[in-house]
Amino acid sequence: MVKNKFIADYQINASKKIVFNYLSTASGLSEWFADDVIITEDKSYIFHFDNEDHYAHLVSLRSNMHVKFEFYDPAVPNEEDLSYIEFKLEENELTQTLFIKVIDYSDVYDDEESAAIWEGLIGQLKEIIGG
């Protein structure tokens, strides 16, 4: 299947530290991104949404800056072109404005659908944070 790389920036009015907690922890992610997020003993993440479990590894983390989850199918252990979601926190130094950069590499949606989905998800995050 052909994958699509969706990239978008969303302004958020909150501190990096607060926002990063919602992007990088199971409890934070389960408040806005998925119905539930579980971290297993082997440090795999299970994201539960749309009545399905989606398995991921945390492949990159830089505190208060960046987090990347790579999704995999446990039934296909040698899959090569894995989907991923990456969140980067970027601050405009002139205006001190904080942005979340979302990079969604998946085979599920086109840009228009992805934009609508992420607008809704980031909207939920902003409501929770108050930003």
Q: Domain count for the chain, please give it.
A: 1
pLDDT digits (tens, 9 = 90+) for 63-108: 999 999 999 999 988 888 899 999 999 998 888 899 999 999 998 6
pLDDT digits (tens, 9 = 90+) for 3-29: 889 999 999 999 999 999 999 999 999
Query: Does residue 1 have a pLDDT over 70?
Result: no
From CA 12, how far away is CA 87, in angstroms rounded?
13
pTM over 0.85: yes
From CA 69, how far away is CA 30, in angstroms rounded?
14
For 1-131, strand residue ranges (E) read 4-12, 36-39, 44-49, 52-62, 66-72, 84-92, 97-106
Q: What are phi and psi of 8, to 5 degrees?
A: -150, 150
Note the pLDDT of residue 2.
78
From CA 79, how far away is CA 87, in angstroms rounded?
23
Q: Poorest-confidence range of 51-55, 85-89, 114-118, 127-131?
A: 127-131
Note the pLDDT of residue 8.
96
Per-residue DSSP letter, 121: H
Per-residue DSSP letter, 107: S
For residue 20, give the CATH number of its domain.
Answer: 3.30.530.20
Q: Which two structure tokens, joined as six digits, stand for 12? A: 């958020």
From CA 108, how far away is CA 2, in angstroms rounded?
9
Q: Poorest-confidence range of 36-40, 46-50, 94-98?
A: 94-98
Question: Domain limits at 118?
Answer: 4-129
